[in-house]
Structure 1
Amino acid sequence: MELSNKSEYALLALLELATRYSSGESLQIRQIAVLQDIPNRYLEQLLATLRRSGLIKSIRGAKGGYVLARDPRNITLLEAFTCMEGLDATPVINTDTATLETQVIQEIWVEARQAANAVLQKYTLQDLCERRDIHRQKELMYYI
């Protein structure tokens, strides 16, 4: 399993919005794009998908932009990933025509997917923010 650019960029955008959630500050597309080095056009599409799924809200006006729709403690990484990638990328194999080996491989793949989903369900956007802050502190300590 691999993290697609689409999901990675969406998580980076959500991380920026989560950082500003408590202040209520909105971010415009170009600000997020610069902060996370994401192409503007691509980010527009990702944010539209996140907005349609209810993870973020758009605010109109001169000071408009995007904000999280809910507290970052209540948005799991699985929600964000599922929003970008769809519900389930596991292929369905017809057991009537599949070989025994193919069925065994499929069983293991399903188990791996369930384990990955359990980990993603366990972490929230707030957890990402906290981990980033811990890593930043470590970097600062290293340079002192």
Structure 2
Amino acid sequence: MELSNKSEYALLALLELADRYASGESLQIRQMAMLQDIPNRYLEQLLATLRRRGLIKSIRGAKGGYVLARDPRTITLLDAVSCMEGLDAVAPEVNRNSTHIETQLIGEVWQEACQAANAVLQKYTLQDLCDRRATHGNKELMYYI
């Protein structure tokens, strides 16, 4: 299993929006792109998908940009990944029509592995990532004598 660039960039953008959720501050594409080193054009496409799927909202006007559509405590990493990758990536099917028992067995084990990965992604929210980032940031600021 591998995290695609598409999902990783989407999570990075969502993380920036989650940081600003409490203040209601919106972020423009170019700001997010600069903060996370994501190409503008690619980020536009990702944000359009996230908006269509209801994870973010766009705000028009001079001070417009993007905000989360709901509290970061309610958006799981699985929500974001399935939004970007589709349901096929989240719940693969076992090929029961195969004539080889080995193929079926491998498919069953792969499906079990995917279910375990999805359980972990369902367990963590955007707020959890924000909290972890803050914890890691505080560790870097510590001075040792």
TM-score, normalised with respect to structure 2: 0.95
- Name the amino acid aligned to 1:102: T
Which 4+ stretches in 1 moved above 3 angstroms? Answer: none
Are residues 68 and 96 of structure 1, via their aligned partners in 2, closer, same or farther at CA, if it must alter by over 3 Å? closer
CA distance in 2, matches of 1:46, 1:8: 10
- Match for residue 113 of structure 2? 112
Residue in 1 aligned with 2:139?
Answer: 138
- 1:64 corresponding residue in structure 2: 64
Q: Within 5 Å, which residues of 2 pair with 1:10-89? A: 10-89=10-89
Offset, 1:143: 6.8
Shift of 1:20: 0.3
Give the Cα–Cα distance (whole angstroms) in 2 for the partners of residues 11 and 115 of structure 1.
20
Q: How many residues are paired up? A: 143
What CA distance in whole angstroms lies between the structure 1 residues aligned with 2:37 and 2:13? 10
Distance in 1 between the 2:11 and 2:137 partners?
18
- Whether the 8 Å contact between 2:13 and 2:32 is mirrored in structure 1 is yes
Once the two structures are TM-superposed, the CA of residue 88 in structure 1 deviates from its matched residue by 2.4
2:98–2:104 CA contact under 8 A, matched in 1: no
Other-structure match for 1:101: 102
Percent of paired sites with the same residue: 80
For structure 1, the residue ranges without an aligned partner over 5 or more in a row are none
Root-mean-square deviation (Å): 1.3
- Which TM-score applies when normalising by structure 1? 0.95
2:71 counterpart letter in structure 1? D
What does the per-residue CA deviation read over 1:37-56, in whole Å, with 9 as the maximum and x for residues that have no partner?
A: 00000000000000000000
Corresponding residue SS for 2:88: coil
When residues 47 and 143 of structure 1 are mapped into structure 2, their CA distance, relative to the original with a 3 A threshold, is farther
Cα distance in 2 for residues equivalent to 1:7 and 1:109:
20
Structure 2 residue runs without a partner (length 5+): none
Residue type matched to 1:76 in 2? T
Q: Aligned-pair distance for 1:141?
A: 1.2
Are the structure 2 counterparts of residues 44 and 143 from structure 1 closer, same or farther at C-alpha, using a change threshold of 3 Å? farther
